Amino acid sequence: MTSPTAPGIAAGRLDADRIAASFADLHPALDAHAAQVAADRCYFCYDAPCVTACPTGIDIPLFIRQISTGTAEAAARTILEANILGGMCARVCPTEDLCEGSCVREAAEGKPVEIGRLQRYATDTVLSRQGHPFVRAPQTGRKVAVVGAGPAGLACAHRLAMLGHTVEMFEARAKPGGLNEYGIAAYKATDAFAAKEVDWLLGIGGITLTTGRALGADLSLDALAADFDAVFLGVGLGGVNALGIDGDDGDGVLDAVGFIAELRQASDLTALPVGRNVVVIGGGMTAVDAAVQSKLLGAEHVTIAYRRDRGAMGASRYEQDLAASHGVRLLFNVMPVAVADGAITLEYTADDGTGLRGTGETMTLAADQVMRAIGQTLTMDGGLTVEGRKIAVTGAGRTTRPGIWAGGDCALGGDDLTVTAVAQGRDAAMDIHAHLTH
């Protein structure tokens, strides 16, 4: 995956102690006292803009008030009723653009209430204890297939199980969790949290999980539709866009998502090869996660090269600043034109009013490792209607085929966020329930 035989790419650039310190928890958990202090900053707005900004609609003022009154378990229930993956979302959501970005304190003082860390405090309280806070309704006798055990699929499966339906989940990879397990920076979710959260979620009962089963390989949508009362697809985006330039398939050129997945599953990060000069092409969260982690593994020079200006980057300004704080160089208005001989050539770009164009002016950077992070593509749609390279859906995830729903990154309208995928999975489950019980 990381082309360890390519010149300049090597493992063990830093010792184990340095690696451990570098990949420690990005935002350490609040203790009880710190949580009380943070909660006391909330104005408990009646018409809270933070709630509107949350894709899952968590009642944020309520759960913060519950923390302030010493009832963290009640706060967790408030969160989890709306977002069953509230623990992971507390760690990975771009809160600076969502709830915290809309906080009244942010507008007035430039320092929002720490909603994300308060959410983590509450959910960690419940996830660390035995048992499950929700109880299944009486069994309905209906059986639903959920394909894909990422955030959308997990949220859908949990809500369906809670409503009394029997769920069979099928996951192509060896582990459930989707991008929570394979696709985010290791310092955002430490101590195997993604796996622990999935185990906790499955504690609701009524969900059978089978790994190593993929749609189009050994799962047929026709067979699933015949065998189950409803089907939900949360298959994500399995393909990665190519650069489309000379040298795109050369040594040392790889997909950023593959690099991150390999890193997330590695038992010893000192054994993970990384380049001395790394260039990441793209402007989203994946690009930042790959770039920062390359630096943390010991890469000397890491550059993010993005074809548009800073304001157009998919990664939040916080993520951009995080990269810069780790020594990652951010280049804007440049696009790759060739990779060869341990270097990458970039052409400056400009928008001439008709679209983005190359200016003809180029620069060359040393690059023994180049990572593609320019978006992913749908690899399996089950023969459903596709729009904009995603499965077309209406309402709460209904596809063009009756009895088939879809949500998360594979479906039209998703914005590649865990929290959005959770909302889509949850809402599809409610629509499936209404369909099965009308």
Q: What is the DSSP string of 306-329?
A: -SS-GGG-SS-HHHHHHHHHTT-E
Q: Quick check: helix, strand or coil at residue 421? A: helix
Exposed/middle/buried for residue 17 (C-beta within 10 Å: 0-12, 13-18, 19+): exposed
CATH 1.10.1060.10 domain extents, the chain: 32-127
What is 248-288 written as a DSSP string? TTSTTEEEHHHHHHHHHH-S-GGGS-EESEEEEE--SHHHH
Structure tokens at 436: 């099965």
Task: Give the strand pairing for 404-406 and 230-233.
Answer: parallel
What's the predicted TM-score (pTM) here? 0.95
- The predicted pLDDT at position 5 comes to 54
The residue among 251, 425, 276 whose CA lies nearest residue 339 is: 251
Instruction: Please list the residue range(s) of the chain that carry CATH number 3.50.50.60.
Output: 9-24+240-376, 143-238+378-437
pLDDT in tens, the chain (438 residues): 555 557 789 999 999 999 999 999 999 999 999 999 999 999 999 899 999 999 999 999 999 999 999 999 999 999 999 999 999 999 999 999 999 999 999 999 999 999 999 999 999 999 988 789 999 999 999 999 999 999 999 999 999 999 999 999 999 999 999 999 999 999 999 999 999 999 999 999 999 999 999 998 889 999 999 999 999 999 999 888 999 999 998 889 999 999 999 999 999 999 999 999 999 999 999 999 999 999 999 999 999 999 999 999 999 999 999 999 999 999 999 999 999 999 999 999 999 888 899 999 999 999 999 999 999 988 888 889 999 889 999 999 999 999 999 999 999 987 789 999 999 999 999 999 999 998
- For 182-195, letters b (16+ CB in 10 Å) and e give bbbbbbbbeeebbe
- pLDDT at 428 (0 to 100): 98
Give the DSSP H/E element, type plus range, for residue 90.
helix 86-92
- Using CA atoms of 315, 397, 428, 57 in order, give the dihedral in degrees to the nearest 10: 40
Classified by CATH at the fold level, domain 32-127 comes out as Fumarate Reductase Iron-sulfur Protein; Chain B, domain 2 (1.10.1060)
- So what's the pLDDT on residue 126? 94
On whether the 9-24+240-376 domain is CATH 3.40.50.720, my answer is: no
CATH entry 3.50.50.60 includes domain 143-238+378-437 = yes
The pLDDT of residue 379:
86
